[in-house]
C-alpha cells in the first residue's frame, strides 16, 4: 500500500469527480482511476460507488474516511517530527512552573536565540512546580527552573545536581481597588476576608498556608472563595474583584503600576514571602554536551537581567 493512494482517495472525495481529482494529482484520469483501484484491491473492499453520478463513497468507505484523513495526518506529522529531529544533534528539555514561563522564561529564550543554538532542539515543559521538580528528579528533563524557599532548596534532595541562582521573587498580597481607591479586599474588623487560594497540596498552597495565613487569620476570619493552581488565572480573578491573594510580584508588577491592583503588604497581617530562583542541571545526562551549552548561556547573564 502506498501513501499516495490514500492521498488520491481523499483528493477524489474533496474534488467530487475523477477528472478534477486527476488534474489536482497531476496524472491522467485513467492512471488516477487505476490507483484508486489498487487501493481497493489492497483493502479487498470497494470504496467508490461508480454506478452513481456524481460518484459516491460506498457505505464502508463513508464509515472510515475520517480514519483515512487521520492516518494521513499522523504519517505527515511523524515525517515532520523525524525530519525536525534529524536536523539537531541533541535535544534539551527544561521544566519550569507556569508563572515563570510568563515572567522569567521569555528573557531566557531571547538570550538563547541571540547566542544561536540551531544545532540543539530546545524544548520547554511548563507544568505545576511539584511536577517540574519530580520530572527533574526522575531524569525526565535535563534542566529545571523553579521557585524555592531559602531553607528548602531542591539541591538538598539532589546534592549531585548543579545549581545556579537566577535571582529572587517576592510573593505579595494583592487586591483590586474599590471605587473610592481603597483595597476592595483586605483585613477589616468584623468582616470576612475573601481569599483566592491555591490547593493545599501545591507548592503555593503549602507556602502561603505556612507563612502568611497565620497572621491574617488572627486579624479577621478568612473565606476561601476559589482555589486554582494557575497563577495567571488567579490574577485575572483578583482583577475582577473576586477576592485577594498572594502572587509573584513580577506577575502583577504591570497591574500594580497601572493601578489595576494594589499591594496590601503594608497592612497588618499581610506578609510577603521571598523565594529564591534556581536553575538546575544534572551533572551527567544523555545530552551532557548540549545541556552544558544551554546551561553556560543561561548562567552567564548579568545579574541585572534576572528577577530581583
Tens-digit pLDDT profile for residues 127-178? 899 999 999 999 889 999 999 988 888 888 888 899 999 999 999 999 999 9
* Judgement on whether residues 261 and 174 belong to the same structural domain of the protein: yes
* Judgement on whether residues 241 and 293 belong to the same structural domain of the protein: no
* Judgement on whether residues 280 and 262 belong to the same structural domain of the protein: no
CATH code at 128?
A: 3.40.190.10
Q: Above pLDDT 70, what percent of the chain? A: 94
Please write down the HEC assignment for all residues of the chain. Answer: CCHHHHHHHHHHHHHCCHHHHHHHCCCCHHHHHHHHHHHHHHHCCCCEECCCCCCEECHHHHHHHHHHHHHHHHHHHHHHHHHHHHCCCEEEEEEEEHHHHHHCHHHHHHHHHHHCCCCEEEEEEEECHHHHHHHHHCCCCCEEEEEEECCECHHHCCCCCEEEEEEEEEEEEEEEECCCCCECCCCCCCCCEEEEECCCCCHHHHHHHHHCHHHHHCCCCEEEEEECCCHHHHHHHHHCCCCEEEEEHHHHHHHHHHCCEEECCCCCCCCCEEEEEEEEECCCCCCHHHHHHHHHHHHCCCHHHCEC
The x, y and z cell numbers of residue 275, run together, are 523565594
By the 8 A CB rule, do 178 and 128 touch? no
What was the pLDDT predicted at 55? 79
Q: For 28-44, what is the mean pLDDT?
A: 92
Q: Which domain holds residue 186?
A: 169-274
| Of 79 and 129, the one with more pLDDT | 129
* Judgement on whether residues 283 and 137 belong to the same structural domain of the protein: yes
By the 8 A CB rule, do 225 and 196 touch? yes
* Judgement on whether residues 295 and 243 belong to the same structural domain of the protein: no
Q: How far apart are CA 118 and CA 116, in angstroms?
A: 6
- Single out the residue in 53, 86, 119 at which a domain terminates: 86
Q: Does residue 306 carry a pLDDT above 70? A: no
**What's the structural domain count of the chain?**
3
| Of 117 and 212, the one with more pLDDT | 212
Q: For 248-267, what is the mean pLDDT?
A: 95
* Judgement on whether residues 64 and 152 belong to the same structural domain of the protein: no
* Judgement on whether residues 265 and 283 belong to the same structural domain of the protein: no
- Single out the residue in 86, 108, 137 at which a domain terminates: 86
| Of 187 and 1, the one with more pLDDT | 187
Q: Does residue 31 carry a pLDDT above 50? A: yes
pLDDT digits (tens, 9 = 90+) for 87-99: 656 788 999 998 8
Highest-pLDDT range among 76-80, 260-264, 268-272: 260-264
> Per-residue confidence at 303, pLDDT binned at 50, 70, 90?
very low
**Mean per-residue pLDDT of the chain:** 88
Highest-pLDDT range among 72-86, 188-202, 277-291: 188-202
> Per-residue confidence at 216, pLDDT binned at 50, 70, 90?
confident
| Of 109 and 77, the one with more pLDDT | 109
Q: How far is CA 177 from CA 184, 240, 261, 293, 303, in A?
A: 5, 10, 6, 46, 34
* Judgement on whether residues 204 and 281 belong to the same structural domain of the protein: no
Q: For 248-263, what is the mean pLDDT?
A: 96
Q: For 286-297, what is the mean pLDDT?
A: 83
Q: Above pLDDT 90, what percent of the chain? A: 48
Q: Does residue 86 carry a pLDDT above 80? A: no
* Judgement on whether residues 175 and 270 belong to the same structural domain of the protein: yes
What was the pLDDT predicted at 76? 84
* Judgement on whether residues 175 and 269 belong to the same structural domain of the protein: yes
* Judgement on whether residues 173 and 262 belong to the same structural domain of the protein: yes
What was the pLDDT predicted at 308? 45
Q: Does residue 302 carry a pLDDT above 60? A: no
Q: For 106-128, what is the mean pLDDT?
A: 86
Please tell me the least confidently modeled range out of 6-15, 80-89, 97-106: 80-89
- Single out the residue in 86, 113, 135 at which a domain terminates: 86
* Judgement on whether residues 67 and 213 belong to the same structural domain of the protein: no
CATH code at 34?
A: 1.10.10.10
Amino acid at each position: 500500500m502506498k501513501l499516495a493512494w490514500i492521498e488520491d482517495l481523499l483528493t477524489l472525495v474533496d474534488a467530487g469527480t475523477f477528472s478534477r481529482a486527476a488534474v489536482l494529482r497531476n496524472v491522467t484520469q485513467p492512471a488516477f482511476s487505476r490507483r484508486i483501484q489498487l487501493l481497493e484491491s489492497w483493502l479487498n473492499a470497494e470504496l467508490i460507488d461508480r454506478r452513481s453520478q456524481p460518484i459516491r463513497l460506498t457505505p464502508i468507505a463513508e464509515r472510515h474516511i475520517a480514519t483515512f484523513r487521520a492516518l494521513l495526518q499522523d504519517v505527515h506529522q511523524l515525517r515532520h517530527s523525524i525530519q525536525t529531529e534529524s536536523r539537531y544533534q541533541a535535544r534539551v528539555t527544561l521544566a519550569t512552573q507556569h508563572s515563570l514561563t510568563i515572567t522569567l522564561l521569555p528573557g531566557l529564550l531571547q538570550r538563547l536565540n541571540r547566542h544561536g543554538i540551531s544545532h540543539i532542539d530546545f524544548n520547554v515543559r511548563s507544568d505545576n512546580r511539584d511536577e517540574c521538580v519530580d520530572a527533574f528528579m526522575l531524569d525526565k528533563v535535563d534542566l529545571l527552573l523553579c521557585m524555592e524557599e531559602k531553607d528548602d532548596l531542591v539541591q538538598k534532595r539532589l546534592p549531585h545536581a548543579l545549581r545556579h541562582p537566577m535571582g529572587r521573587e517576592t510573593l505579595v498580597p494583592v487586591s483590586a481597588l474599590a471605587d473610592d481607591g481603597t483595597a476592595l479586599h483586605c483585613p477589616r474588623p468584623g468582616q470576612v476576608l475573601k481569599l483566592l487560594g491555591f490547593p493545599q497540596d501545591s507548592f503555593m498552597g503549602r507556602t502561603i498556608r505556612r507563612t502568611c495565613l497565620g497572621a491574617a487569620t488572627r486579624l479577621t476570619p478568612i473565606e476561601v472563595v476559589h482555589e486554582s493552581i494557575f497563577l495567571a488565572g488567579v490574577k485575572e480573578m483578583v482583577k475582577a474583584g473576586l477576592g485577594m491573594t498572594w502572587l509573584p510580584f513580577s506577575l502583577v508588577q504591570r497591574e500594580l503600576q497601572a493601578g489595576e491592583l494594589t499591594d496590601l503588604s503594608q497592612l497588618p497581617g499581610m506578609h510577603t514571602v521571598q523565594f529564591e530562583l534556581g536553575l538546575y542541571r544534572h551533572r551527567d545526562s544523555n545530552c551532557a554536551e548540549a545541556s552544558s551549552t544551554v546551561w553556560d548561556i543561561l548562567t552567564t547573564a548579568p545579574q541585572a537581567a534576572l528577577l530581583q
